[in-house]
């Protein structure tokens, strides 16, 4: 397999110059006005609906999808796309019900919501949990998997690639959320165009291997010869049931994963919190439409690689550095087959996905640390400009920490995407319980929220390690365990809120907040009908 050629490097250089140059132009354009924390962290009032939607997808689609989800496409098939298609439905719910509450109550960060709704103790604990999760799981995984792919395609040293990706992300991130948001539009363009090119050539290569031609024939051959890779619902007994347990993906733990990620996650909600309600909603709707497309870019290449692997290709290339089979090699292996020029475009798409996610994650780490930990506890008298400087320092420090600890996290053992989902799943049920109860039941108190966040984590960790007596919890699918933890948290929160005094710290909510425009309602209906059709066809 050939590595990158001169034309590939020129294409990649063009991408780098466009993104960095546009980011520098945006930064200089707003430099004349005094930088405030709301401007730096939230780009208040600056992002358009299309910039918000593009930034959501650019920040979400990263190495764990391009590499990890393609790897799961190789091993289990289309079913892993449930994370993408259920996310599209979730974005509609967040737009209709969550965003009005945040914006009506002037919420800038998720810990601020917890402080305003409960108390500072709950907020601080959650801020620390989020910082640890974002740095030790998300940032490390994105860097590790991204460097693995870039190294495999370019032939450069793994750690050199890791440092390069970190520096590129820092360049974008220190300009603030406005720079991130608008450069993400370009990142998404390269991500979609390059990703579709990789999918097209991978699927047509399948048809070539069978002596046929064309994209349609390649897809037909894949569905006929590997029907087991084109089902969305895995029944009990299926080898992939532990990862995606049957109807749980439609009616159980998958909702906790997605509602927590898209609705209670600083990394995601930050893009919309600086906008007005209609702009935020339209941005989320645009992101939902893009989500419907993502499995074509991140899952189909993995299935195509599996089809080619069954025909005798990639037998050596799918082996990891330790000589054992590694499903996360599927996407880099495919990219190495692309012709000159297109390989550079796809390489740029992959880099765009990694860098955009790193930038978004680093910005969220900086936001939470600066606004929710450093300012209220250590720097109450600091000026806005000084806090922005602190935020920029945190960006650099968090990236260095991620580089240092990522090789020791065991990311390659489970597959990158599953690693992130399971680790995040230790916190998701309790966090989501604290948020959803805080939204819609005024009696919910701080003791209940504290139990959900801390107790929920400890219960999830005990189930994960099978420390609890009785049932073999480790033999239960992690999505089902998440469902049980969520139910336990809600029940205990309900009891504590009835037994202990009502703190009367409900949010400002009225029914009119949840009304949408006709255009949004039509767009949302199209998204939901498309999802139902996809699940019906690929059941």
For residue 294, tell me if it sits in a domain: yes
Structural domain count, the chain? 1
319: β partners? 325
Of the candidates 302, 296, 303, 298, the residue with the CA atom closest to the CA atom of residue 225: 303
Confidence of residue 29 (pLDDT cuts 50, 70, 90): low
pLDDT for 178 equals: 64
Question: Residue 286: its pLDDT value, please?
Answer: 93
Q: What is the pLDDT of residue 531?
A: 95
- Give domain status of residue 534, yes or no: no
Q: Are 365 and 398 in contact (CB under 8 A)?
A: yes
Residue 246 in tokens: 């049957």
In a domain, 483, yes or no: no
Structural domain range at position 204? 6-34+54-108+134-357
Q: Please give the average per-residue pLDDT across 449-467, as a whole number.
A: 89
Q: State yes or no: pLDDT of 183 exceeds 80.
A: no
Does 180 score more than 50 pLDDT? yes
CB 351 within 8 A of CB 161: no
pLDDT given at position 1: 47
Residue 433's contacts (CB-CB under 8 Å, 6 or more residues apart) are: 452, 456, 486, 489, 490, 493
User: For position 179, what pLDDT does the model report?
Assistant: 67
Token pair 């007596």 is at which residue?
A: 469
- State the Cα–Cα distance between residues 52 and 102, nearest whole angstrom: 16
Cβ neighbour number for residue 237 with a 10 Å cutoff: 6
107-116, 287-296, 528-537: which has the minimum mean pLDDT? 107-116
| Least confident interval from 327-336, 367-376, 483-492 | 327-336
Give the pLDDT confidence score for residue 469 in this predicted structure.
76
Q: What is the mean pLDDT of residues 379-387?
A: 78
Using one digit for the tens of pLDDT, what is the confidence trace for 101-160? 888 888 877 888 888 888 888 888 888 888 888 888 888 888 887 887 778 777 778 888
Domain annotation covers residue 116: no
**Full 3-state SS string of 45-97:** CCCCHHHHHHHHHHHHCCHHHHHHHHHHHHHCCHHHHHHHHHHHHHHHHHHHH
Q: Is the pLDDT of residue 414 over 70?
A: no
Tens-digit pLDDT profile for residues 326-352: 777 777 777 777 777 777 877 777 777
Q: Which of 34-43, 90-99, 312-321 has the lowest mean pLDDT?
A: 34-43
* pLDDT of 473 higher than 50: yes
Asked whether residue 323 is domain-assigned, the answer is yes
Mean pLDDT of 47-76: 79
Q: What is the pLDDT, as a whole number, of residue 34? A: 47
Q: What is the mean pLDDT of the chain?
A: 82
Give the mean pLDDT of 56-78. 79
In a domain, 334, yes or no: yes
Residue 207 resides in a domain: yes
Q: Give me the mean pLDDT over the 229-248 stretch.
A: 87
Residue 494 has pLDDT above 90, yes or no: yes
| Structural contact between residues 345 and 155, judged by C-beta atoms closer than 8 angstroms | no
- State which H helix or E strand residue 356 sits in: helix 342-367
**pLDDT tens for each residue of 89-100:** 999 999 999 888
Confidence of residue 292 (pLDDT cuts 50, 70, 90): very high
So what's the pLDDT on residue 323?
A: 62
Structure tokens at 361: 């994650």
pLDDT classification of 208: cutoffs 50, 70, 90 = confident
Could you tell me what percent of the chain has a pLDDT over 70? 88
Contacts of residues 152-160 at CB distance under 8 Å and 24 or more positions apart, as own/partner, are 152/329, 152/332, 152/333, 152/336, 153/3, 153/4, 153/332, 153/335, 153/336, 153/343, 153/347, 153/350, 154/3, 154/4, 154/347, 155/3, 155/4, 159/403
Q: Decide if 96 is inside a domain.
A: yes
Name the token pair of 263.
Answer: 């609705």
pLDDT computed for residue 439 by the predictor: 85
User: CATH number, domain at 309?
Assistant: 1.20.1730.10
Among 353, 427, 387, smallest CA distance to 70 is for 353
- Kindly tell me if the per-residue pLDDT of 176 is higher than 80: no
- How sure is the predictor about 534, in pLDDT bands with cuts at 50, 70 and 90? very high
Q: Which of 405-408's residues contact partners 24+ apart within 8 Å by CB, and which partners? A: 405/136, 405/140, 406/140, 406/141, 406/143, 406/144, 406/162, 407/144
pLDDT of res. 535: 94
Q: Which of 256, 306, 293, 248 is nearest to 534 (CA)?
A: 293
Judge whether 79 and 234 are in contact, CB under 8 Å: yes
508 pLDDT exceeds 90?
Answer: no
Q: How far is CA 209 from CA 198, 299, 302, 307, 316, in A?
A: 17, 20, 16, 10, 18
What is the model's pLDDT at position 85?
93
**High-pLDDT (> 90) share of the chain, %:** 17
Residue 335 · residue 200 · CB < 8 Å: no
């Amino acid at each position: 397999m050939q590595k990158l050629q001169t034309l590939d490097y020129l294409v990649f250089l063009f991408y780098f110059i466009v993104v960095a140059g546009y980011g520098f132009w945006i930064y200089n354009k707003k430099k004349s006005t005094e930088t405030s924390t709301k401007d730096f962290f939230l780009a208040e009032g600056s992002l358009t609906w299309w910039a918000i939607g593009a930034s959501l997808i650019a920040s979400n689609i990263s190495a764990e999808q391009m590499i990890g989800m393609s790897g799961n496409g190789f091993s289990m098939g289309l079913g892993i796309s449930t994370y993408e298609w259920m996310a599209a439905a979730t974005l509609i719910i967040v737009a209709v019900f969550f965003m009005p509450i945040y914006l009506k109550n002037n919420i800038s960060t998720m810990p601020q919501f917890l402080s305003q709704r409960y108390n500072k103790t709950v907020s601080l604990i959650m801020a620390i949990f989020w910082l640890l999760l974002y740095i030790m799981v998300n940032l490390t995984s994105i860097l590790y998997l991204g460097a693995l792919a870039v190294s495999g395609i370019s032939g450069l040293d793994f750690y050199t690639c890791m440092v390069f990706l970190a520096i590129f992300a820092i360049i974008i991130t220190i300009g603030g959320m406005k720079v991130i948001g608008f450069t993400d539009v370009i990142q998404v363009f390269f991500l979609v165009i390059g990703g579709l090119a990789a999918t097209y050539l991978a699927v047509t290569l399948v048809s070539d291997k069978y002596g046929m031609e064309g994209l349609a024939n390649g897809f037909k051959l894949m569905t006929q010869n590997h029907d087991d890779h084109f089902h969305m619902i895995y029944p009990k007994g299926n080898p992939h049931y532990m990862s995606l347990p049957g109807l749980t993906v439609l009616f159980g733990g998958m909702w906790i994963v997605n509602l927590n990620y898209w609705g209670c996650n600083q990394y995601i909600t930050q893009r919309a919190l600086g906008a007005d309600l209609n702009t935020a909603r339209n941005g989320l709707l645009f992101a939902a439409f893009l989500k419907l497309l993502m499995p074509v870019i991140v899952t189909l290449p993995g299935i195509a690689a599996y089809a080619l692997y069954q025909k005798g290709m990639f037998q050596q290339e799918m082996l990891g550095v330790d000589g054992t089979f590694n499903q996360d090699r599927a996407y880099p292996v495919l990219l190495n087959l692309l012709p000159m020029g297109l390989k550079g475009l796809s390489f740029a798409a992959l880099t765009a996905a990694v860098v955009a996610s790193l930038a978004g994650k680093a910005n969220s780490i900086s936001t939470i640390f600066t606004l929710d930990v450093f300012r209220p506890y250590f720097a109450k008298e600091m000026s806005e400009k000084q806090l922005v400087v602190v935020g920029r320092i945190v960006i650099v420090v968090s990236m260095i920490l991620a580089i240092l600890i990522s090789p020791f996290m065991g990311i390659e053992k489970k597959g990158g995407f599953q690693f992130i989902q399971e680790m995040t799943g230790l916190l998701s049920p309790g966090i989501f319980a604290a948020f959803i109860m805080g939204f819609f039941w005024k009696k919910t108190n701080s003791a209940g929220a504290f139990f959900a966040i801390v107790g929920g984590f400890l219960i999830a960790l005990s189930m994960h390690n099978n420390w609890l007596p009785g049932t073999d919890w480790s033999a239960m699918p992690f999505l089902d365990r998440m469902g049980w933890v969520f139910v336990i948290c809600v029940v205990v929160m309900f009891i504590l809120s009835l037994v202990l005094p009502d703190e009367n710290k409900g949010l400002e909510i009225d029914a009119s907040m949840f009304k949408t425009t006709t255009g949004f309602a039509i767009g949302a209906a199209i998204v939901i009908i498309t999802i139902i059709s996809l699940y019906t066809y690929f059941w």
